[in-house]
Every structure is written in structure tokens, then in C-alpha cells.
Structure 1
């Protein structure tokens, strides 16, 4: 497969992934997971946020057998947005550092805020 075809395949795979960037697949985000699938070094069933529908879509796209979702990586379910408990937040900024999509803003020792429109529900915070 030439580089252009591989890039196109990666883009098509990435378009089927939920873009949560949660890392539960074992990769640093959806795009690296898409690259691994395209290379054949990852299976299509490693994305809990995408669930069975994503596994089925990847199976169809790639013409590979349908696999059950790898539940060892987490359960599929509705994506939950981040929520900051104002009574417990001490402004440590750990949630800001953990967020792969910069959906949390704030300053050290001050209350933080979730930008709901950016939050992917990755659960890393």
C-alpha cells in the first residue's frame, strides 16, 4: 500500500472513531489508534466509547471479521461530560493537565470550569 492510500485509509478509520481521545484503546488518541488499525497492529474492537457500532463499522470498512468489543478496555455506554464539584475543587489543576482536548480552564488554587462544547467525555479528568 502506498503512502497516499495508507493516509486515506487512516482518515477513513479515524472518521469512524468517536474522537474522545480517551486512550482506553491503548493508544494516545483516536488518530494513533486509526494508524495502528491501518497497519494491522491493532484490532478493531479496542474502543469502548465507540462500542459495538464502531466495531461493526470498522469491520465493514476493512472487510475483516466482526469481533466483540474488548470489554477488558472498558464498557460501552453513553458519553458523560466532565463535571467539577465546586465544593471539592481545590484548584490543583490535575484535571486540566489530564484533559486531551483542553475542555477545562482555570488557574492554580482557583475554581475550574468545564467547556461543555469541547468535552468529549473521555473520563480522564
Structure 2
């Protein structure tokens, strides 16, 4: 008879706290900043940290707060910077790191025969594109790799190489409009 009242009391307390938490989640609900969501959608989602932030979302939050400029994303390049300028009503500015933006896109490849299974590379990978187990060979999932190169430096045996992406009809894109020879200005502004 002593256990039944204890179970009943605990059940009532759980119900009460559940109702309290449900009310609090509705009453104190905070919506995300829609401009941050729009900026984040324009960024390439490489999570590489080349902009100086831990990923694309923190960089988007810094842009929205006016703490960062729109020209710090080398993977996104000039196209992303112009899209951000259009969205935010700002003037386009030259990319902060022209050299990094001009570098050809590449994917990481692990020379599997040299891999010692140290796990340092997949600890460094921001998008979990490297798989393997401790003291076992690792490999890169090419479809997930963003080419950020963050896995190269931690490798103690230098078995990670960056290989340029081969151009195929599926991966080829026309250069930015300024370099398009088929688009010409009409004479006299017509």
C-alpha cells in the first residue's frame, strides 16, 4: 500500500511538469532571423572555415549582424558575393582572398596504402566526408567532400592529396558573365 501513493504522486508530478514545459515552449518560442536563413541559403555549405567562422551558419549570422563583410567566402566565389550583395542591397566588393577563390576546385583523396588509421583526418573534416576506424584504412566519400583542405594538414604521414575535379559535361559551368565571349554590350546602350 505504500508504493501506490508514491507512484501516483510521481505520475502527477510528471504530468504537471510536462504541462509546464509544454506551456513554456509555446509561450517563450523564439523564431529564427529570416535574413540569416536567406544568407545561409546562398552560402555554399562547405563548412570549411576559410571565412574565419566555424561554418556557413555562423558566417551568415555575422553578415546579418554587420560584423562581417560579404566577400570572405572563397568556395562561393564572386557569384556568392554578388548574390549576397543583391539580397542585402549592398555594393559588390572584391573578394578578400582572390587567390583562394581562383584556385581550381579539388577533392581530397587518401593514398590508402600509406594510411595508418590515425583518425586525425576525419576529426578535422567538417562535413564527415572521411570514413574509417582507428588503426584501419580511411577513405573519402567523394560525393560529400567539399574540397576545403582541412584534412590535409593534420595527416602525419601526408597520405592525403587534393586532386582537381575532372571537367565533365555534368560538372562544367560557364565562367562568370564578365568572361562570356558570347554576351556583348549592345552599341549605344540599346
Q: Provide the TM-score with structure 1 as the length reference.
A: 0.89
The structure richer in strand per residue is: 2
**Can you give the 5+ residue segments of structure 1 that lack an aligned partner in the other structure?**
none
CA 1:101–1:48 in structure 2 vs 1: closer, same or farther (change >3 Å)?
A: same
Matches within 5 A, 1:68-83: 68-71=94-97, 74-83=100-109
**Can you give the 5+ residue segments of structure 2 that lack an aligned partner in the other structure?**
1-29, 152-190
2:132 to 101, 106, 121: 106
Matches within 5 A, 1:25-104: 25-71=51-97, 74-104=100-130
Task: Report the aligned-residue RMSD.
Answer: 1.8
CA distance in 2, matches of 1:15, 1:78: 23
1:8 and 2:12 are equivalent in the alignment: no
Secondary structure (helix, strand or coil) at the match of 1:83 reads strand
User: CA offsets, 1:97-116, max 9 Å, x none?
Assistant: 00111111111121101112
Q: Give the CA deviation at 1:72.
A: 6.9
Secondary structure (helix, strand or coil) at the match of 2:147 reads coil
Q: How many residues align?
A: 122
Q: Give the CA deviation at 1:19.
A: 0.6
Q: Provide the TM-score with structure 2 as the length reference.
A: 0.60
Report if the CA contact (8 A) 1:24-1:73 is conserved: no
Q: Which runs of 4+ in 1 moved over 4 A?
A: none
Report if the CA contact (8 A) 1:21-1:28 is conserved: yes
CA distance in 2, matches of 1:78, 1:14: 23
Q: Give the CA deviation at 1:73.
A: 8.1
